Chains A and B, each alone.
Chain A
Amino acid sequence: MAIGMEDGNALAGTLSEIFTVDVTAAQVRCASCGHTCAVANLHVYGPQPGSVARCPGCEAVLLRIVRTRSDAWLDVRGTMYLRVPLAAS
């Protein structure tokens, strides 16, 4: 497979294995530059051996996801916060 850049929309499947809500529609704030956008708008490289999602503002790494046969590894240290839209309670 050609190594090409996709966007955060392509992470929906892997993230849906871990979370009950669709995280690609969440807003994410970059811990490096403060840029805030939908996870769907992140620049994503991968998916092998893992997916790396970078900030469209400064290209800092916000999320890294590696799926092994038995586990999903999710590294979010570049993310200041995720704001997840939920139905009013």
Chain B
Amino acid sequence: MAGLRARLSWRAATLVDLRDETPTARTLVLDVPDWPGHLAGQHVDVRLTAPDGYSTQRSYSIASAADGTRVELTVQRVIDGEVSSYLIEEFRVGDEIELRGPVGGWFVWRPNDTSPTLLVAGGSGVVPLMAMIRARRAAENRSLCRLVYSMRTPEDVIYADDLLRPGGPDVSVDVQLVHTRAAPPSSPRPAGRMTHAELARWAWPTDLEPHNYVCGPTAFVEAVADQLVALGHDSAQIRTERFG
């Protein structure tokens, strides 16, 4: 009996450009023919196959807003990460990879959402949240939005060109950076982990029924989600994505 035809198929994606975001993170600009478009927060599976048939795959968040056949992924180098090592060290403009998607319907932001939005990122967890900021900008959605972004040092800020430009990424997006190991000299905030008091100040009042998105390493995501619940936020409106 013939098997069911897979509903989701692998497509060839060609690297057309790349940008180094930090010493360990690189954005890959891919051209994916017949790309159906995506929602901010969705991801793709990337599959690599060696000449001997060995195959491995990994899920990556999309960094860009929907824009024709162009899809951007930001890859953080992971120690012993065979997919990330290949994508950062060997993948060159003109090369192809296999990709399927977009997938995921939970950790997504829709352009018609006018609820106040709090985006909380730990490290490379900023990737799907940046897609949300870019999708807001593309949709000219001016609802309240704040990004709280925690990273170790100033050189670890992914999308610094976009986030730190004068006026911020968008007039309606407030950006708060939390440097945990070393802060820039200009920062009024000393280096250190985000405190409960800071999150309480940056979170939107619960009366506004905000939508909260938290993405980052597991321990970071759990701590932030627990604090938001303690502040009275509806757990159904705290959407999380974790890795590591």
Binding site for B on A (CB under 8 A): 1-2, 4-10, 12-14, 16-20, 22, 24-25, 38-41, 47-48, 70-71
Contact among B45, B105, B218 for A13, CB-based, below 8 A: B45
Q: Are B79 and A6 in contact (CB under 8 A)?
A: no
Q: Are A13 and B101 in contact (CB under 8 A)?
A: yes
Instruction: Using A9-B107, A13-B45, A16-B103 as known contacts, say yes or no to A47 and B57 having CB atoms under 8 A apart.
Output: yes
Query: Is B8 interfacial (CB 8 A cutoff)?
Result: yes
Contact among A4, A16, A41, A47 for B240, CB-based, below 8 A: A41
Instruction: Using A7-B240, A7-B241, A16-B8 as known contacts, say yes or no to A70 and B3 having CB atoms under 8 A apart.
Output: yes
Interface residue stretch chosen among B22-30, B80-88, B140-148: B80-88
A16 partner residues in chain B, CB cutoff 8 A:
7-8, 103
What does the 1/0 interface line of B49-75 toward A look like (CB < 8 Å)? 000000011110000000000000000
B121 to chain A, nearest CB (A): 15
Query: Is B104 interfacial (CB 8 A cutoff)?
Result: yes
B59 partner residues in chain A, CB cutoff 8 A:
6, 9-10, 12-13
Q: Are B6 and A40 in contact (CB under 8 A)?
A: no
A28 to chain B, nearest CB (A): 12
In the assembled complex, the Cα of A38 lies from the Cα of B83 at a distance in Å of 28
Instruction: Using A12-B43, A41-B240 as known contacts, say yes or no to A1 and B83 having CB atoms under 8 A apart.
Output: yes
Instruction: Using A2-B81, A17-B7 as known contacts, say yes or no to A7 and B242 having CB atoms under 8 A apart.
Output: yes
B58 partner residues in chain A, CB cutoff 8 A:
1
Contact among B57, B79, B80, B106 for A38, CB-based, below 8 A: B106
Contact among B43, B79, B81, B82 for A9, CB-based, below 8 A: B43
Contact among B7, B42, B241 for A20, CB-based, below 8 A: B7
